[in-house]
Amino acid sequence: MEFSVFLFLALLTGLLLLLVRGHPKDHGHLPPGPRPLPFVGNILQMDRKGLLKSFLQLREKYGDVFTVYLGRRPVVILCGTDTIREALVDQAEAFSGRGTIATVEPVFQGYGVIFANGERWKILRRFSLATMRDFGMGKRSVEERIQEEAQCLVEELQKSKGALLDPTFLFQCITSNIICSIVFGERFDYKDRQFLRLLDMFYQTFALATSFYSQMFELFSDFLKYFPGPHRQIYKNLQEINTFIGHSVEKHRATLDPSSPRDFIDSYLLCMEKEKSKPHTEFHHQNLILTLFSLFFAGTETTNTTLRYGFLLFLKYPHVVERVQKEIKEVIGSHHPPSLDDHNEMPYTEAVIHEIQRFSDLLPIGLPHMVTKDTAFRGFIIPKNTEVFAILSSALHDPHYFEKPDDFNPEHFLDANGAFKKNDAFVPFSIGKRICLGEGIARNELFLFFTTILQNFSLASPVAPEDIDLTPRESGAGRVPPTYQIRFLPL
């Protein structure tokens, strides 16, 4: 039988079943939403521009809490700052489960901190946070590592002698090197072939995993997984990265000194050793590899893309750069490199970095959550294990919290006296128990990288500011700025 005929018959059978049985199996008392078709769910309500656009359209009709069916899976969508806080903060435990991302599920399979659930997640998260914090005490701090990397970047940019360049590659190098330094205890030269291969894998995988195709894959993974397509490439890339990490772990094992762990891997290997007699320990090889992988997966392209959006915004709004550079001159001067102590005295720079993160809206639909038990929320009952998407973009653009949500305006984070002003809708790292585990590191990176570059260089573009286009290339699971070229001119 031809495949298209088979598909048609399958759809028809499903439709008949639905008509006979009414609404798809009533799960608890889910929030309302568009009526799904069998197998394909709410495909008809999905906008060609991706999930975010579709959800924002459905919000107009169904309000801040509604249900959509991605294929056969019901997913509860939460929009707006107050709704998201009410769920992720006020009922933190219930909303702390992790849902799946269909394209990467075959690799993670519920292991590693980012996709783990239950006790496994709690143990891995506690360990990861404590180990990364430890680097601030006694051992070389994360701050020192970022400062060192920032100086390497300055040297590299000086070599460019003001030539036009696409900053993507260098920003990838510096952000990956921070994770490498924490995880492997070493940074890599920007020309190291193995390092370059690793970067290429991350870049490709992030682009594929956030593409429109991957969003479609979320809807039809049960069916599409049997056919060739980018999901196979993602799987191949992720396997290659895993092999790289695996080799590094073996090298660490051979040179481990129990009295002085050098990095994340050493600390984990020591826990493995301590717990080796426990039959159900979570400190095993698979969790190690996939937790390291989680840090790379979550911690490289995110920071790199934010830096890239930041410099594009700087080219578009030169008056903002002038004010940041004035503050750098006044607070830091030009004789010593920026440090985290300078941070508190630089409210304008702090506001600019917040506004870059708000405006760039890197992960507009966040990462999928899942409720860990039957959960009462706003008059509905969300059954245990139902997936939940908190639409971070709807908070970052919340008109109740930001005067002009669609404009880039650092004043959103400044009070009338020019002091830094917090905002409850600022959630680029999400909120609640699953809040980004690398938030502290990412914030430190953004501050030190932005200020070190602006302390040493002025910026120039071949395109006039008014002609610079800020429209992201993908507006699906990840928003990536358009490609651009920039000159870094030594000051």
Report the interface residues with ligand HEM, using CB under 6 A: 98, 113-114, 125, 179, 294-295, 298-299, 302-303, 306, 362-363, 366-367, 369, 428-430, 434-438, 441-442
Q: Which residues of 385-395 are buried (b: 16+ CB within 10 A; e: fewer)?
A: ebbbbbbbbbb
Q: Which residues contact 45 (CB under 8 A, 6 or more apart)?
A: 34, 54, 57, 58, 68
Q: Looking at residue 244, what DSSP letter applies? A: H
Which of 38, 438 has the CB closer to ligand HEM? 438
How many other C-beta atoms can be found within 10 angstroms of the C-beta atom of residue 422?
Answer: 8
Q: Which two tokens stand for residue 413?
A: 């984070």
Structure tokens at 350: 């702090």
DSSP, res 13: H
Q: Give least dist CB 26 to ligand HEM, A.
A: 28
Question: In sequence order, what are the residues at sequence separation of 6 or more whose Cβ sits closer than 8 angstroms to the Cβ of residue 279?
Answer: none
471, with CB counted inside 10 A (0-12, 13-18, 19+), is exposed
Contacts of residue 230, defined as CB under 8 A and 6 or more positions apart, other chains included, come to 103, 208, 211, 213, 214, 217
In the complex with ligand HEM, which residue's Cβ is closer, 33 or 299?
299
**Which of 102, 441 has the CB closer to ligand HEM?**
441
**Distance in Å, CB of 53 to ligand HEM, minimum:** 19
271 known ligand binder: no
Angle at 332 between CA 327 and CA 338, to 5 degrees: 110
Nearer to ligand HEM, 302 or 456 (CB): 302
Cα 430 to Cα 412: distance, rounded to the nearest angstrom: 19
Q: Which is nearer to ligand HEM, 69 or 296 (CB)?
A: 296
- In this structure, the dihedral spanned by the alpha carbons of residues 290, 372, 55 and 217, taken in order and rounded to 10 degrees, is 40
**What is the closest distance, in whole angstroms, from the C-beta atom of residue 428 to ligand HEM in the complex?**
5
Which residue lies nearer to ligand HEM by CB, 40 or 170? Answer: 170
Least distance CB 462 / ligand HEM (angstroms): 28
Q: Are strands 73-78 and 387-390 parallel, antiparallel or unpaired?
A: parallel
Q: What separation in angstroms does the CA of 265 have from each of 121, 131, 258?
A: 18, 10, 12
DSSP symbols for 175-240:
HHHHHHHHHHS----TT-HHHHHHHHHHHHHHHHHTSHHHHHHHHHHHHHTTS-SHHHHHHHHHHH
C-alpha dist (Å) from residue 169 to 60, 250, 485 = 40, 29, 12
Our CB check for ligand HEM shows the closer of 220 and 402 to be 402
For ligand HEM, the closer CB: 78 or 113: 113
Nearest distance, CB of residue 10 and ligand HEM, angstroms: 34
CB of 85 or CB of 369, closer to ligand HEM: 369
Min dist. Cβ of residue 299 to ligand HEM (A):
3
Q: Quote the least distance from Cβ 204 to ligand HEM, whole Å.
A: 19
Largest CA distance in the chain: 77
In the bound complex, what is the minimum distance in angstroms from residue 91's beta carbon to ligand HEM?
14
SS3 assignment, position 83: helix
Residues contacting residue 124 through CB under 8 Å, at least 6 positions apart: 112, 113, 116, 282, 287, 291
Tokens of 189: 């030269």
Which residue has the CB atom at the shortest distance from ligand HEM?
A: 438
Q: Name every residue whose Cβ is closer than 8 Å to that of residue 451 and which is 6 or more positions away in sequence.
A: 324, 328, 332, 338, 342, 346, 349
Q: How far is the CB of 276 from ligand HEM (least distance, A)?
A: 25
Calpha distance 217→438 (Å, rounded):
28
Q: Report in angstroms how near the CB of residue 261 gets to ligand HEM at its nearest.
A: 18
Our CB check for ligand HEM shows the closer of 295 and 382 to be 295
Residue positions forming the annotated binding site: 436
Residue positions forming the annotated binding site for heme: 436
